[in-house]
Amino acid sequence: MALRGCWRFARVVPRLLWNTTVLPGASVPGGRSSVSCLHNTYPGCQTTESLLRTFSSGPPNTDVSYEQLKQLLAAQKSVVIDVREPWELREYGHIPGSINVPLGQVNTALQLPPEEFKEKYGGEMPQQTDNIVFTCLAGIRSKNALDAAASIGYNHVQHYPGGWKDWVKNEQNN
């Protein structure tokens, strides 16, 4: 009996999440029964967008474009952490103003005392409330670093999915 109820719920939730423009009192299209959106009907009811954030593994809006990263660096509103290996930075270059913390050290580094972090990595240790942007060569390692930082309590983490490759391409065009 309980399993049957779970299956009914499993059919409804994807439809609710799929329909991002459900208005209060509207029914979900394609459903056998009328399922009303309870947004604004009951206190504490979440919108579809906030439900998607609840079910996602990472924080919302985690991608940063080249233009956004340039603005963040100019305004000094973010700590930019490059998670490539030091030899990669020496060979290919790095984004000015970024701190190098190799991916394998991110979890440990973000839990160090601030003085030790500064001594080891040459930059101020970000606080858990600071905006952090992770970058790498092409966006794969930076996404892993974002997930690692979020798992230890950093709330405002983003990554630059284009990475160093995109940075160089955009810098050459400017």
Q: Which residues are catalytic?
A: 136
Whether 146 and 58 have beta carbons less than 8 Å apart is answered as: yes
- Ranges assigned E (strand) in the chain: 79-82, 99-100, 131-135, 156-159
Task: Give the residue among 52, 50, 54, 30 at the shortest CA–CA distance from 39.
Answer: 50
Give the orientation angle of helix 2-18 with respect to helix 48-55, to 10 degrees.
120
